[in-house]
Amino acid sequence: MAGMADERTFVIVGASLAGAKAAETLREQGFTGRVVLVGEETERPYERPPLSKGYLLGKDPRDKAFVHDGIWYAEHDIELVLGVRATELDATRHTVTLDGVEPLPYDKLLLATGSRVRQLGVPGTDLTGVRYLRTVTESDALLDHLKRARRVVVVGAGWIGLETAAAARTHGAEVTVVEVDTLPLRRVLGDEAARVFADLHRANGVDLRFEASVREFRGQGGHLTAVVLADGTEIEADVAVIGVGIRPNTELAENAGLAVDNGVLVDAALRTADPDVYACGDVANADNPLLGRRVRVEHWANALNGGKAAARSMLGEDIVYDRVPYFYTDQYDLGMEYSGYAEPGGYDRVVFRGDVPGREFVAFWTSQGRVLAGMNVNVWDVTEQIQELVRAGYTGTAVDLDRLADPGVPLGDLLS
């Protein structure tokens, strides 16, 4: 009723991009109740992409990564509780326990707990110089290492590994990338497009070792000196960065009895089976009605948009979160955006439009007359059109695949 104070408390667990965007949206949408944003890290919410790019390259200031100014939270009456872990969720009592002691009652709860790095279970990961990269503190430490590093080994040729390899080369180190698969990013891009990234790194002087894995990190006096591969090869190194994937932080949901399967299961409104508990960002495995399947997206745009969508849903709006998955990377002079969803084995062919050796092109993954995904490399302002082509495939609109490869045909003209 107009004039009555809103007595409700909305708690958001996870003070990163998704959580901060949810808090912002609650206020933007006029929610006047209590908003508590709880984060285990001691820094206020920040974005992670700069941690392996501009900031790690030493180009961008640290402050640029933060989602809001420090003062913003107080100005918007958002209780930012940092350095505190939510240890238990009691969905029946509607409480979340902070640091094992203090139960915080909620009316609605958003899990925006994201993910953490997958650990590599080999000896020597405790040596100085062996690093993971997820948090800004880890990026601070890695930047410090890279400024002095002579030989860097990157374990894992995924996005984080490759961006870190590019940063290390840019700092002037010799870089070796060790990857178990036959190409970088093969499980995301498939062989055809993965080769572009292998070529890019080779052209920039990176030594790529495929079908190789790490047996141990070896050191002297507590400092890393070499990385030993499974076949006994020893690679001299003073810094090693492990980027072998992440796992979603699902424990709170799991222990509360909520359904978890590669992330917290939520519907298209980002709701769990409990009507007062929601999840978004990296931790959510959400039903995407457009794709007709569940997806857990581990990318920036999903944290940004999912946080906003979850907030609206918590406020009772009838939302359908059906965005085309999107991500991007920057490595050396290559900038790339990818929209859609295609897995190796799930597409018929890859169609290239433009100059692949010159690394200025768009690649499309197609299947049975549909565009499943598109990746623009050093070609800009085409994301919207690519996403329209992807959407068309799911909504039954025909796409002229015969002219997909022709750069003379505007992308918009491919839709009939």
Ligand X SMILES: Cc1cc2nc3c(=O)[nH]c(=O)nc-3n(C[C@H](O)[C@H](O)[C@H](O)COP(=O)(O)OP(=O)(O)OC[C@H]3O[C@@H](n4cnc5c(N)ncnc54)[C@H](O)[C@@H]3O)c2cc1C
Instruction: Check binding of 286 to ligand X (CB under 6 A).
Output: no
The span from the CA of 271 to the CA of 336, in Å, is 32
Q: Which helix (H) or strand (E) holds 143?
A: helix 136-148
Q: Given the complex with ligand X, which of 192 and 251 has the nearer CB atom?
A: 251
Q: Which string of DSSP letters, residue by residue, matches 170-187?
A: HTT-EEEEE-SSSSTTHH
Residues 6+ apart with CB under 8 A from 205: 169, 174, 175
Print the binding letters for residues 314-343 with ligand X: x by CB under 6 A, - otherwise.
Answer: -------------xxx--------------
* Cβ–Cβ < 8 Å for 80, 37: yes
Which of 223, 62, 79, 54 lies closest to 140, judged by CA? 62
Task: Characterize 66-94 residue by residue with b for buried, 16 or more Cβ atoms within 10 angstroms of its Cβ, and e for exposed.
Answer: bbbeeebbeeeebebbeebbbeebebeeb
User: For tokens 């590019």, what's the residue?
Assistant: 166
| Min separation Cβ 149 and ligand X, Å | 17
Contact segment (CB under 6 A) with ligand X among 1-9, 107-115, 214-222, 308-316 equals: 107-115
Question: Which residue in 199, 299, 315, 405 binds ligand X (CB under 6 A)?
Answer: 299
**How many whole angstroms separate alpha carbon 237 and alpha carbon 240?**
7
Q: Does 215 bind ligand X (CB under 6 A)?
A: no
Q: Shortest approach of ligand X to residue 36 CB, angstroms?
A: 11
Q: Is residue 73 part of the contact set for ligand X (CB under 6 A)?
A: no
Element (H, E) at 71: helix 70-75
What x-and-dash track marks residues 231-270 binding ligand X by CB under 6 A? Answer: ------------------x--x------------------
Could you say which of 104, 127, 160, 239 contacts ligand X (CB under 6 A)?
Answer: 160
- Residue number with CB closer to ligand X (139 or 366): 139
Q: Which of 179, 238, 287, 298 binds ligand X (CB under 6 A)?
A: 298
In the complex, least distance from residue 416 CB atom to ligand X, rounded to whole angstroms: 31
Which residues form the interface with ligand X (CB under 6 A)?
13-19, 38-41, 48-49, 51-52, 85-86, 112-115, 133-134, 160, 249, 252, 281-282, 298-301, 303, 327-329
